[in-house]
Amino acid sequence: MSYVKKIADHEGVNPAKFYKTTLFRGDALMVGLNCLEPGQVQSAHTHDDQDKFYFVAAGHGRFQLGDSHVEAAAGELVWCPAGLAHGVENVGDGRLTLLVGIAPAP
């Protein structure tokens, strides 16, 4: 197993929906990569027993957190505690690349 991965090697495109892949998975934590092209959306959803974060590696997104919406760009971290409805839309001109962590792992 590789303990080091380069994000750029795992980016991808899914024209029908946003692209996602798992980078690492253990019992306590799953780390993945989500790539959204301009205008693509990850619909609001919840993880009742799991905390989640999005680290914006590139691009600009609009995040739904419960009834609120916040914008975050490259270098910013968005936190979603367990049970809070959350989703994201790429509101930028280029790809939105998100490093995502979920704990405990799904």
- pLDDT given at position 92: 96
Characterize the bridge pairing of strands 68-73 and 77-80: unpaired
pLDDT classification of 28: cutoffs 50, 70, 90: very high
Where are the domains positioned within the chain?
A: 18-31+43-103
- Which residues lie across from 65 on neighbouring strands? 68, 86
Note the pLDDT tens digit of each residue in 54-88.
Answer: 999 999 999 999 999 999 999 999 999 999 999 99
Q: Using CB atoms within 10 Å of the CB of residue 97, give its burial: 0 to 12 exposed, 13 to 18 middle, 19+ buried.
A: buried
The C-alpha angle 54, 60, 64, rounded to 5 degrees, equals: 55
Give CA–CA dist 90/45, Å, rounded: 16
pTM attached to this predicted model: 0.95
**CATH architecture observed for domain 18-31+43-103:** Sandwich (2.60)
Q: Are 28 and 56 in contact (CB under 8 A)?
A: no
Give CA–CA dist 106/26, Å, rounded: 10
Nearest to 58 by CA among 44, 46, 75: 75
